[in-house]
Structure 1
Amino acid sequence: MADLIEQSKKLAAYSAVDENLKPNHKVIGIGSGSTVVYVAERVGQQANKSELVCIPTGFQSKQLIIDNGLKLGSLEEFASIDIAFDGADEVDSQLNCIKGGGACLLQEKLVADSADNFIIVADYRKNTGILGKSWTKGVPLEVVPAAYNKILKQLTELGGKAQVRSGLPAKAGPVITDNGNFIIDCDFSQVEASKIKELNDKIKAMVGVVETGYFVGMAQKAYIGNADGSVSTLSV
């Protein structure tokens, strides 16, 4: 079964690249996650790979880019990205996503927002139709350290169950992002696709919230690797 799931991840990633990476695409966003490993592999197999520049969303994707012999770039150099591929912690029926389980949500959203096309690649466990159904750890929020206590209070008033993400057992104290901020995980239980934007806007309006792990209306397509080895393509 595990081999079949891994096969489906590879097939989903290869399909996503083969069907969406065009000859005129030169700047490519590469995300993170077990399925995106195969995205980087497939991009690294392109005949014109020497002409491509890849923008990472974090340390793992940097390594994927380097390991596949691709040219590493940055958002500071390239404000516009032709296409970006990334994983997701959960995907709903409208392709809204929860991301940030690995604490890279700000960089991930920067890359997705800079891309003309944003493609999700994931396995079937992430495709639940409603956010908060299987990802019960809560939506990750990147917050300024000085504001965490105030934001915890505001999130509770909004109906969420929030806590600062601990770095234990590897690190005493909170997880610190690449940007020097804290991560708060806030569980709002299951949130209908029609209500995600309103909730996201309310959280973003809290002073001290840098970014949320709700990716609302950003993805054009999702390639889902199924347990039987097949691939489902979702679009909005």
Structure 2
Amino acid sequence: MILGIGSGSTIVYAVTRLAERVRKEGLKIVCIPTSFQAQQLIVTNNLTLGSLDTTPELDCAIDGADEVDDKLTLIKGGGGCQTQEKIVASCARKLVIVADSTKNSTSLGQQYKKIPVEVIPLAYNPILQRITQKFGGTAELRMGKMKAGPIVSDNGNFIVDWFFPTGIEDWKTVNERIKMMPGVVETGLFVDMAQIAYFGGPDGSLSVKLAS
């Protein structure tokens, strides 16, 4: 089985559990990482590390999310890895989301108020202006907390966080229009990509959402 491994805090638990099953059951799984963090998780858990260079078609990808609405539209990229995550997800026959119950929403914006957009450094300021002029809200360059200057993605780009206004419903069109802006690499909007999402509650409960 070829499995994409996403990024984020919830994925740590999923990979730990996966490694236990591989050891106990002798499962044959090749893991494709979406980020440096995911790669280190795979290596430290003694799982087989692969790449899209050798295995560009995946059976499944598992990943977290910052928010999931009732249509299984996702906001991702709180960790700045949305471009790699979307590439890996697009190569998988099935995308499974694993998250805690606070990420489960009826519509985007109930829990998470911003959409990350990865941009070429030269273009960050024009994109800040264009996004807000076209869609409203506010946008800012994501700055580093433990370094001077902006956050730099694994791809060497900047991250713009768009704090979107309420009332948006057509996320597919919004995603397409932002991606058409020169200098935009990728957005943190995942539209029509996930098939199922699992949400764990603090009491150990589990809820499931299926794509309609």
Q: TM-score range by the shorter chain?
A: over 0.9
Q: Which structure 2 residue ranges, 5 or more long, are not aligned?
A: none
Provide the C-alpha distance between the structure 2 equivalents of 1:84 and 1:98, rounded to a whole number of angstroms.
16
Report how far residue 62 of structure 1 moved. Answer: 1.1
Q: After superposition, where does 1:66-77 map in structure 2 within 5 Å?
A: 66-77=43-54
Partner Cα separation in structure 2 for residue 155 and residue 104 of structure 1 = 20
For 1:215-230, list aligned pairs within 5 A. Answer: 215-230=190-205
1:196 aligns to 2:192 (yes or no)? no
Cα pair 1:103 1:140 within 8 Å, conserved: yes
Deviations 1:71-100 (A, max 9, x none): 111112211111000000011011110000
Counterpart in the other structure of 2:162: 186
Kindly indicate whether residue 105 of structure 2 is the aligned counterpart of residue 131 of structure 1.
no
Match of 2:152 in 1: 176
Distance in 2 (alpha carbons) for counterparts of 1:106 and 1:128: 23
1:83 corresponds to: 60
1:170-224 per-position Cα deviation (integer Å, ceiling 9, x unaligned): 11111111111100000113455x4111111111110110000000110000001
Note if contact 1:29-1:54 (Cα within 8 Å) is conserved in structure 2: yes
Q: Secondary structure at the match of 1:35?
A: helix
* SS of structure 1 residue aligned to 2:52: coil
Task: Report the AA paired with residue 230 of structure 1.
Answer: S
TM-score (norm. length: structure 2): 0.93
Find the aligned partners of 1:35 and 1:152 in 2 and give their Cα distance: 30
140, 161, 165: which one aligns with 2:138: 161
Matches within 5 A, 1:1-236: 26-44=1-19, 45-46=21-22, 47-49=25-27, 51-136=28-113, 138-158=114-134, 159-168=136-145, 170-190=146-166, 192=168, 194-236=169-211
Inter-CA distance 222–87: structure 2 relative to 1 (3 Å threshold): same
Give the counterpart letter for 1:186 in structure 2: W
Cα-to-partner distance string for 1:91-117 (whole Å, 9 max, x where unaligned): 101111000000111111111111100
How far apart are the structure 2 equivalents of 1:132 and 1:189? 8
Return the alpha-carbon distance in structure 2 between the equivalents of residues 77 and 161 of structure 1: 41
1: CA distance, partners of 2:203 / 2:31:
31
- CA-atom RMSD in angstroms: 1.3
TM-score by length of 1: 0.84
Q: 1:29 to 1:191 in 2, by over 3 A?
A: farther
Q: Name the aligned partner's letter for residue 175 of structure 1.
A: I
**Identical positions, percent:** 51
Shift of 1:28: 0.3
Any idea what SS the aligned residue of 1:135 has?
coil
- Aligned residue pairs total 207
